[in-house]
Amino acid sequence: MNKGKKAIIGIVIAGLVIGGAVYSMAAAGDPGSEADPLVTKSYVDSKISEMSGGSANVNVDEIVSRVLAQVNTQVGGTTESYTPLNIKEGNIMIASEGTEIILRSGIATVYVPGENGISDVTSGKDLYNGENIGQNHLLIVPRSDGRGLVASTECWVLIKGGYRFMN
């Protein structure tokens, strides 16, 4: 057999192998299953509706923060850098264990459902429910037991770790 025929046969065999691999990867996930890498808009809309409790008024920031908190929980850690977060007046942000918070602008108070506090590392003391948070103070939430902050005005914080908004 001459070199030209060998090259054509080699190309055909390589094409069949690559085509078979692509077909087997595509067939691995049934359409609509969790293994399916593609999703439809109706699927995404149904998941957003589930997360928002079926409400027509969807708070996208809250849904994103819930998803990020779930991802942080599943991967067992927090983000490596601080993330800027806008909190609207009257909103309550609940932080996860080990979350670091720095109030950059606005007025916020500590939200603690029990008698414990949140560590204000900058001043070297605990802040308790209803106490004002100083701007540019580093706060650390010691446990995931509902501690966080209430925005008295619109606020900007830098946050490292998990959080969610209370309804």
Please report, for the domain that includes residue 85, its CATH number. 2.60.120.1030
pLDDT at 77 over 50: no
Whether residue 78 sits in one domain with residue 23 = no
Q: What are phi and psi of 35, to 5 degrees?
A: -85, -10
> Domain containing 120: what range?
49-166
37 in any annotated domain: no
pLDDT in tens, 94-124: 999 999 999 999 999 999 988 889 999 999 9
pLDDT classification of 156: cutoffs 50, 70, 90 = very high
Distances (CA, A) of 154 to 92, 94, 149: 11, 16, 12
